[in-house]
C-alpha cells in the first residue's frame, strides 16, 4: 500500500501542509468490507463525519454503501453526492428543529433517536408536516468499548442514547405517538475499538433487547449496531486494511434473533482512516538542552487528534538520511498540546524535508480549524498525480 516516499519529488512541488489520499487503498478497503458481508443481510453505512471530501464520498457511494450522518448538513451532503434517502441514517444527541424538518422532508431511512424528549419533538414536527418519522431508538447498552475515554459512548455516564432502565416507560409513551414509526434499535459503543469481544458483549445485549421489543408487540425491521471498528495506528504499513472478516464474524456468530432482521453497521474510521496522510514540511530543527525538536508547518489546526485525545499517528520521514536522531515533532500553533509525538527516532532531518503523518484519513481534515488564522488545508488525491 501507500508507499508514500515514491511521491517525494511530486510532493516537493505542492504547497505544504496538505492531505494526501490514496484512492486505490480506499477502494481495496471498501472491497474487503463488501467481501466480508457478501451473502448476508448486513448493510454498511459510511459515517460521513470521519471524512466528507467529495471524491471519498463518491467512491464509497459507488461501492454501494449507505450513509450515516450526524447533522443536517451531512444529510444534505449525502443526498447531493447521490446516496438514496432510504439509505441515510441520522444520529446525534442535539438535532435542531430545522435539521429534523429537512430530514423528514427528504424521507430518510431512520432518525436514530437519543432521548425521550427528542422523540416527542420529532413527533410534534412530523405531525405539523403531516408526515410519519421513521426512527430507531438509540439505546445505551452500557458496554465498555475499552477505548480512550473521550471516544467511549456506550456507558451509562455518556450523554448518548436511552438507558435500558428507562425503556419500558419510553416504549409505553411512544405507543401513544401517531407520527412515529419505530423501525429499529440502534447502538454505537465508541470508536477505535480493537477488542472484538466488546462487540460480542454488544450482540448479547442486542439479542435480549430485540426480544424485549417483540414481547411488547413492537415489530422491528432492523438492528443497527453502529460503528467503531479500530485501525492499526502503530503499524499501518503492515495492516492497511482492518480485520473486517473477524469483525463481521462476531455478529454472524453471536446475534441470535428469532425473526431475521436487517443488520446495519456504521463504519467511519475503518473505511477512510488508512487511506489518508498529512504531509508536512520541516521548518526548523531546534537542538534544545534536553530535547531536539522538529518544528513542522502542520499543527493541531490541521490534525487535532493528538491534542484532543492523545492520539498517535505514525510519522515517516522522506529525508533519506541513514543517520537517526531522537526528536519531538511539534507544530507552529501557540499551544503546548500542539505536538504530534515526543522522543521518536527518525532519520536525521533538515529544513525542507517532508514528513507524513499516516492513518490520517478519518477525523483529520474534517476537524481542521482556523485557530491562529490558519489557511484552509488542501487535499491531493492519488488520481491527481
Ligand X SMILES: *Cc1c(COP(=O)(O)O)cnc(C)c1O
- Site of interaction with ligand X (CB under 6 A): 47, 49-50, 68, 70, 91, 188, 191, 226-229, 266-270, 362
From 308, 381, 318, 359, select the one nearest 338 (Cα to Cα). 308
Q: How far is the CB of 130 from ligand X (least distance, A)?
A: 28
Cα(221)–Cα(263) distance, rounded to whole angstroms?
Answer: 9
Q: How far is the CB of 117 from ligand X (least distance, A)?
A: 18
Go through 10-36 and write b for each residue having 16 or more CB atoms within 10 A of its CB, e for each that does not. Answer: ebeebebbbbbbbbebbebbbebbeeb
Q: How far is the CB of 167 from ligand X (least distance, A)?
A: 19
Nearer to ligand X, 76 or 148 (CB): 148
The CB-nearest residue to ligand X is 268
Q: How far is the CB of 192 from ligand X (least distance, A)?
A: 6
Nearer to ligand X, 159 or 216 (CB): 159
From 76, 91, 43, select the one nearest 251 (Cα to Cα). 43
Q: What is the DSSP string of 143-172?
A: ----S-GGGB-SSTTSSSSEEGGGHHHHHH
Q: How large is the angle between the packed helices 167-174 and 197-215, nearest 10 degrees?
A: 50
Q: How far is the CB of 273 from ligand X (least distance, A)?
A: 8
Cα(90)–Cα(79) distance, rounded to whole angstroms?
Answer: 12
Omega into 120 within 30° of 0, i.e. cis? no
Q: How far is the CB of 376 from ligand X (least distance, A)?
A: 23
Nearer to ligand X, 203 or 229 (CB): 229
Of all helices (H) and strands (E), which one includes residue 363? none
Nearer to ligand X, 153 or 317 (CB): 153
Q: How far is the CB of 309 from ligand X (least distance, A)?
A: 12
Cα(249)–Cα(75) distance, rounded to whole angstroms?
Answer: 30
- The phi, psi pair for 310, rounded to 5°, reads 50, 35
Nearer to ligand X, 7 or 90 (CB): 90
Q: How far is the CB of 119 from ligand X (least distance, A)?
A: 16
Nearer to ligand X, 14 or 367 (CB): 367
Cα separations (Å) of 111 from 132, 139, 256?
11, 13, 25
For 292, the 3-state DSSP assignment is: strand
Beta carbons within 10 angstroms of residue 280's beta carbon: 25
From 265, 241, 236, 269, select the one nearest 366 (Cα to Cα). 269
Nearer to ligand X, 319 or 359 (CB): 359
Nearer to ligand X, 110 or 296 (CB): 110
- Strand 339-347, strand 292-296: pairing: unpaired
Amino acid at each position: 500500500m501507500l508507499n508514500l516516499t515514491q511521491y517525494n519529488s511530486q510532493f516537493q512541488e505542492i504547497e505544504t501542509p496538505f492531505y494526501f489520499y490514496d484512492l486505490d487503498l480506499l477502494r481495496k478497503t471498501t472491497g474487503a468490507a463488501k467481501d466480508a458481508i457478501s451473502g448476508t443481510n448486513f448493510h454498511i453505512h459510511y459515517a460521513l463525519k470521519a471524512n466528507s471530501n467529495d471524491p471519498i464520498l463518491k467512491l464509497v457511494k459507488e461501492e454501494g454503501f449507505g450513509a450515516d450522518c450526524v447533522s443536517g448538513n451531512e444529510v444534505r451532503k449525502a443526498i447531493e453526492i447521490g446516496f438514496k434517502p432510504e439509505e441515510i441514517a441520522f444520529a446525534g444527541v442535539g438535532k435542531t428543529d430545522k435539521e429534523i424538518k429537512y430530514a423528514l422532508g427528504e424521507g430518510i431511512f431512520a432518525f436514530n433517536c437519543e432521548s425521550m424528549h427528542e422523540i416527542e419533538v420529532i413527533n410534534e414536527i412530523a405531525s405539523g408536516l403531516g408526515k410519519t418519522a421513521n426512527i430507531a431508538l438509540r439505546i445505551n447498552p452500557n458496554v465498555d468499548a475499552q477505548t480512550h475515554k473521550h471516544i467511549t459512548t456506550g456507558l451509562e455516564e455518556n450523554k448518548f442514547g436511552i438507558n435500558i432502565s428507562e425503556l419500558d416507560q419510553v416504549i409505553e409513551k411512544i405507543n401513544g405517538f401517531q407520527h412515529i414509526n419505530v423501525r429499529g434499535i440502534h447502538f454505537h459503543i465508541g470508536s477505535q475499538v480493537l477488542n472484538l469481544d466488546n462487540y460480542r458483549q454488544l450482540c448479547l445485549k442486542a439479542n435480549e433487547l430485540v426480544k424485549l421489543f417483540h414481547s411488547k408487540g413492537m415489530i422491528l425491521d432492523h438492528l443497527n449496531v453502529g460503528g467503531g471498528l479500530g485501525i492499526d495506528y502503530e503499524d499501518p504499513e503492515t495492516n492497511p486494511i482492518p480485520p473486517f472478516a473477524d469483525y463481521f464474524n462476531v455478529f454472524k456468530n453471536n446475534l441470535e434473533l428469532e425473526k431475521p432482521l436487517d443488520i446495519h453497521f456504521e463504519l467511519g474510521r475503518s473505511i477512510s482512516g488508512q487511506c489518508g496522510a498529512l504531509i508536512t514540511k520541516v521548518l526548523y530543527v531546534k537542538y534544545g538542552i534536553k530535547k531536539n525538536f522538529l518544528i513542522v508547518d502542520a499543527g493541531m489546526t490541521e490534525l487535532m487528534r493528538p491534542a484532543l485525545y492523545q492520539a498517535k499517528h505514525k510519522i515517516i520521514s522522506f529525508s533519506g538520511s541513514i543517520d537517526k536522531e531522537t526528536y519531538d515533532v511539534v507544530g507552529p500553533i501557540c499551544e503546548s498540546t500542539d505536538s504530534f509525538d515526543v522522543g521518536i527516532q527518525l532519520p536525521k532531518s533538515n529544513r525542507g524535508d517532508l514528513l507524513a503523518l499516516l492513518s490520517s484519513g478519518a477525523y483529520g481534515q474534517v476537524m481542521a480549524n482556523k485557530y491562529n488564522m490558519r489557511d484552509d488545508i488542501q487535499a491531493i488525491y492519488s488520481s491527481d498525480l
